[in-house]
Structures are given as structure tokens and as C-alpha cells.
Amino acid sequence: MTTSSELAGSGLGIVTVNLTPGQILTLDQIRTPHGDLTITSGTFDFNTFTINRSVAGGTFSMAAGTTVLLGASNYPGNYNIDTLDPTSTVNYDNAGAQNVTNVTYGNLILSGNGTKTFGASTTIAGNLSINSGVVADLGTFSSTANTMSLGGTGVPDGTWGSNSSIAAYQNNTYFTAASTGIINVAVCTAPPFQPSAITGSLTPCEESSQV
């Protein structure tokens, strides 16, 4: 881990986590950097501590293949920009309730136990994994994921939620029974419109299906 000032000092500047494959850096106390937080390689375990920026600004970024472990509702805050590579992973792994921050994730894992609560519509560019023993509270929101697994098993594309939702696939084991929110798994949610009669351009759904 490199910083623009000593890690044990009274303040941190720019923080860069650059580990060899398989290495894990564990946060030992609350940290409040003044600059960017960048994870270029390896796994950063926040434990139950925070590493929020001292004042609003800067960027929190995760490079391809990196992982962050969150042991509380402690996703890094006060950064103006969140840039998470589609192959990065954020794992909310507390053995209890946690709030899922509204950012665009690469892969998102909900593990440990308890209820993980979505506070807004959330986009997961990669896979959403809800482990056994975890219940996702989707609120009233419509979120999206490219793929999804429940208890380690991949599920079909479509809309997913509790029995109280309008989802095509309803499940009260992995989704809170009172929640009406849904997860759109590989389902295009772009506003419908017709191709232009002049240009013949494709709709967003058609464009994404031909990538």
C-alpha cells in the first residue's frame, strides 16, 4: 500500500492499494484520506472501519480483478466519483444487516448473514451473488444485473423479486417478503422507442444485443 503520507500519521493524502495476487490488506482503524482512493490490485478488507474522504471530492476507483470486503455499511464515502471496473468485486460480508450503497458495481456479492438493503435503483455490470443465509431487501426499486446467482446457483434471465413483487420469478428465500422491488437480470430497461424512419438506427436494446 502506498500513500502520499505515512499510513500511521494524522492524515493521508492519495491512497493507492497495489498488492500482489492473493494478498489482502486489512483496514485497522478509521482512516480519512484527503485525496483519491485507488485499488489497482489485490483485496482490500475494510473490516468494520471506514476510509471516507475527509471532504467531498476526488475519486474512488477499483481496477479489473480487484476486491473490496465490507464488514459493515461502510462503502467509502465523500468521493465525488466512483469508478468500479466491470470485473471488480464488492462483497458485503457482515454476519448481519447492511445497507448497499447506490453505485454502479462490477460484481456484487451479498454474503455473511442478515438483510442487505438497497436504498435506490442499483446497477450491477457483472454478476449479483446472493449467498445462502442472506436476504436482499430491494425496497420499491428496480435494479439491474447482467447475471445473478442465488445460493451459488445461476438463475435464468428475467425479473426477480419477492412474492409481493411483479417479478416473473418470485422467491421469498432470497428476497424480503414485503419488498416490491425487482432485479432485472439481463433485461433491457431502456425507454422503448421505434427506430428512426430516416436513419434506421437501432433502439438501445437492439444495440446491446448485437455487441
Summarize pLDDT for 59-94 with one digit per residue, the tens: 999 999 999 999 999 999 999 999 999 999 999 999
Tell me the residue type at 97: A
Q: Do residues 146 and 108 touch, judged by C-beta distance below 8 A?
A: no
pTM above 0.75, yes or no: yes
Summarize pLDDT for 130-186 with one digit per residue, the tens: 999 999 999 999 999 999 999 999 999 999 999 999 999 999 999 999 999 999 999
Summarize pLDDT for 52-63 with one digit per residue, the tens: 999 999 999 999
Which residues is 134 bridged to in the sheet? 114
- The dihedral built from the CA positions of residue 51, 60, 40 and 147, taken in this order, carries a sign that is positive
Task: Please tell me the distance from the alpha carbon of residue 135 to that of residue 121, in angstroms, as a whole number.
Answer: 17
Q: Are strands 134-137 and 24-26 parallel, antiparallel or unpaired?
A: unpaired
